[in-house]
Structure 1
Amino acid sequence: MSLTLIDAACPVCAHAVAAPFFDAGACTLATLAWPDSAESARALPRHALEFVQCPRCSHVWNHRFRYDAIPYQSNPNRMFNNGGIWKGHLAATRDLLLGNLCAAPTVVEIGCGEAHFVRGLAQASDGGRFIGFDPNASVGTGNGIEFHARLFEPLADMAAFKPDAIVIRHVLEHLTEPAKLVEQLAWGAASQPNPCWLFAEVPCIDRVFETERLADFFYEHVSQFTTESFRALMARAGEIVTLAHGYDGEVVYALVRLGVPAPVRARAGAAAGFAARTVEHRAGIAQQLAELATSGRRVAIWGGTGKAAAFIHYFDADAGRFPLVVDSDPDKVGTYVPGTGQQIVFRDALKTEPADVIIIPTQWRARDIVAEMSREGIAASAVMIEHGGSLIDFGRDPHPY
């Protein structure tokens, strides 16, 4: 059987190819339009619903979704279910979370809606701080919770609130980048002094594959989670302690110990250290170039495009102080260094007017260039390369090239 594949990146695992799943055509919003008349209901704009499935993690999503089509700030996403089974599920998951928390915890619910869940946590606890975030301002602070009418910003807000638990119930299915949120929560938790749990819950579409029902698929739910794809997403947040189903299998939830593996944290720390050193290196080499420019020595830069142009930019080798840029590639001769404007001349210019110092920005080509200089009778008192945050003498100083 020939497969039709779609160029679409999975929002859970980032797999780059998807399979067609359900093309529903164009439909209105289903839960957040709130029309006030039959006429306005019929006149609602229609949006493309074209659900695809990730063949790697099994996630299903509408790859034609546009987040700005949904009026979250004016119309809250309200869930209404007053059934006894649902109430029992809420109580069970609330007890699961509270049973793992310290006394008087700080709990943040992201996308809290009318805040019934986080308020229930507050009412069942002896003290603590319970905070709801939602861009819709219909809920007020009080009745045991604080409310912030904005989106939760994980990297900043985790540091500010230092929560013991994050709750995300029936929110991830609305997000175009759910993995971004959970990974940023993991990094936020890794940076705070106290450990943090994540309790997440979403609708589960496992039964769709058994029953082939279609009403599950509507515009506001850009993502449709299977148990497998939900597990894949939660694994990106940290250590999955509990993953289970509720409400007769219609929802799947997880309790996750938020965190980032030590090797990944170490790599981020190494990157931050490198970033700090780049500032020092740029300043140091720029100072060396400034001293060369005022020394009276004739300086040539060998190469004026690609990485050589990057060198010229990073270390402020401007055309006024460093006008001489040479290359042995005839196709580059007569062109100009991007951004700074030195005209690139043929290397033979160094035969008639030798340079005292030749700087070779492409270190890995330095041996070939030095051999070319020897072959062509081009001499200089020093050939310099960038290494270890400094300009060093290629012929005299230690380096790996």
Structure 2
Amino acid sequence: MNFHVCVKCGHVFNKDFDVAQIPYEEDSNLMFNNGRGWQRHLDELALKLRDNYIHNDLTVVDIGAGDGSFLHTLKLTCMLKCDVEAIAYEPGPEHRDCKLLRLKTYADYFIPGRDLGKHKPDMLVCRHVLEHMEQPREFITELAWACAQNNIRPVFVAEVPCIDRALATTRVGDFLYEHVSNFTFRSMRTMFESCGWLTRECYRTYNDEVVIWTGVPNPRAYPGYPQGWDYHGTSGLVNFLMELIDTDMVFWGGTGKGAAFLNAFHITKGRVIDSDRRKAGRYVPGTGQLIEHAESLYENPAETVLITTRWRAADIWMEIQQCYPCVKTVYVVEPFGIKEYTEDDYHAETS
């Protein structure tokens, strides 16, 4: 094991982790859930969620449900208050235990882009799963993105072991190979808030050995995305771009990062413009479009511009506002798709 620590938030991770060494499908994850204190912890968490977040009939999806005991406890706890559609995702052998508890069970991994729209959950539970993921940030970012695309704001309840006490008392036995990520109280909250989520609660419990984060997607994280686009992978992005190109959209930026973007998605048609006169009259490397100067918009107007160089979006947006009134909509490329760039974005990036 080769553990590294983030100097900003204290997160500890195993740089040399190899998921192939952990055969979860062979029941290698044997977390003990029958201790009296642990059961009390589960009961208290279920009561807290019921009292604070559950008010009407709802759908709850448990991501990595294990044997289903917590999801079952939550469902029973809510019986007198509302009806809970309890859905368990568990790729390991414990999915059989979930079925025995009469939970709606999927013996599979939960994939946000595929599964969130299918269930439209009101609550997501993810207990003692994130520490096993090689890329937990990517997962919760994708989850926030998928929530935005499906226009839902489920409560997300995440629980992981907390290593604050282990660090304070040099308890090296707490650092397991199975735990790629080891969360401090601070790193847990930092991760979610930097990935498109708003914190409602973040607290230690179970003798400070566990940290629980509860929150909802941040509606400002992915504002203004065009609706009706298939976001499930790059094919959706390319299809959306092709639809815009067939109207009157132009790409702003034809060399450097702009050329890299066009090549990455094999975009070989559509107008490409640039405000740098040195580039006008040349061709986009790799895809071949003629690069026009931005002033060509006077003679050949376009209502939609997609800025391919995200880091220069503020400057380009202002130039468009000042010089090219024909342009009504400006898009920029973000990590998981395309969003409309607005005056609010400009002020947020330049203030």
TM-score, normalising length: structure 2: 0.66
Query: Map of 1:197-208 to 2, 5 A cutoff?
Result: 197-208=155-166
Tell me the amino acid that sits aligned with residue 10 of structure 2. S
Query: Map of 1:176-215 to 2, 5 A cutoff?
Result: 176-192=134-150, 195-215=153-173
Distance 1:91 1:285 in 2: 58
Aligned residue in 2 for 1:249? 208
Deviations 1:346-382 (A, max 9, x none): xxxxxxxxxxxxx96241598xxxxxxxxxxxxxxxx
SS at structure 2 position matched to 1:233: helix
SS at structure 1 position matched to 2:225: helix
Aligned residue in 1 for 2:88? 132
Aligned residue in 1 for 2:71? 118
Tell me the amino acid that sits aligned with residue 249 of structure 1. D
Matched, 1:101 2:60: no
Q: 1:365 to 1:166 in 2, by over 3 A?
A: same
Distance 1:109 1:52 in 2: 30
Moved more, 124-133 or 276-285: 276-285
Query: Map of 1:43-54 to 2, 5 A cutoff?
Result: 49-54=1-6
Alignment equivalent of 1:361, drawn from 275, 291, 302: 291
Q: 1:315 to 1:94 in 2, by over 3 A?
A: closer
| Percent of residue pairs bearing the same amino acid type | 30
Distance 1:169 1:139 in 2: 15
Distance 1:388 1:132 in 2: 46
SS at structure 2 position matched to 1:265: coil
Please state how far the C-alpha of 1:59 moved relative to its aligned partner.
Answer: 0.6
Asked whether the equivalents of residues 198 and 218 of structure 2 are also in contact (C-alpha less than 8 Å), the reply is: no
Unaligned runs of 5+ in 1: 1-48, 287-303, 317-327, 341-358, 367-382, 391-397
Deviations 1:222-248 (A, max 9, x none): 000001001112323522222111111
Tell me the amino acid that sits aligned with residue 112 of structure 1. A
Aligned residue in 2 for 1:150? 108
Please state how far the C-alpha of 1:155 moved relative to its aligned partner.
Answer: 2.5
Tell me the amino acid that sits aligned with residue 260 of structure 1. N
Distance 1:74 1:56 in 2: 37
SS at structure 1 position matched to 2:26: coil
Tell me the amino acid that sits aligned with residue 18 of structure 2. R
Alignment equivalent of 1:265, drawn from 214, 222, 226: 222
Please state how far the C-alpha of 1:151 moved relative to its aligned partner.
Answer: 0.5
Distance 1:339 1:171 in 2: 43
Pair member with larger Rg:
1
Aligned residue in 2 for 1:231? 189
Unaligned runs of 5+ in 2: 230-236, 272-277, 306-322, 326-351
Q: 1:144 to 1:97 in 2, by over 3 A?
A: farther
Distance 2:107 2:240 in 1: 40
Deviations 1:263-290 (A, max 9, x none): x3325349x7x9788435644689xxxx
Aligned residues: 281
Moved more, 125-134 or 188-197: 188-197
Distance 2:287 2:199 in 1: 51
Deviations 1:277-312 (A, max 9, x none): 8435644689xxxxxxxxxxxxxxxxx998899799
Distance 2:24 2:7 in 1: 31
Aligned residue in 1 for 2:15? 63
Tell me the amino acid that sits aligned with residue 132 of structure 1. A
Q: 1:223 to 1:362 in 2, by over 3 A?
A: same
Asked whether the equivalents of residues 130 and 144 of structure 1 are also in contact (C-alpha less than 8 Å), the reply is: no
Tell me the amino acid that sits aligned with residue 40 of structure 2. G
Asked whether the equivalents of residues 173 and 224 of structure 1 are also in contact (C-alpha less than 8 Å), the reply is: yes
Aligned residue in 2 for 1:13? none
Between Structure 1 and Structure 2, which shows a larger proportion of helix residues?
Answer: 2
Please state how far the C-alpha of 1:142 moved relative to its aligned partner.
Answer: 4.0
Asked whether the equivalents of residues 61 and 88 of structure 2 are also in contact (C-alpha less than 8 Å), the reply is: yes
Alignment equivalent of 1:77, drawn from 7, 25, 29: 29
Please state how far the C-alpha of 1:64 moved relative to its aligned partner.
Answer: 1.3
Q: 1:91 to 1:315 in 2, by over 3 A?
A: closer
Q: 1:338 to 1:168 in 2, by over 3 A?
A: closer
Distance 2:153 2:299 in 1: 50
TM-score, normalising length: structure 1: 0.59
Q: 1:388 to 1:219 in 2, by over 3 A?
A: same
Distance 1:338 1:181 in 2: 32
Tell me the amino acid that sits aligned with residue 197 of structure 2. G
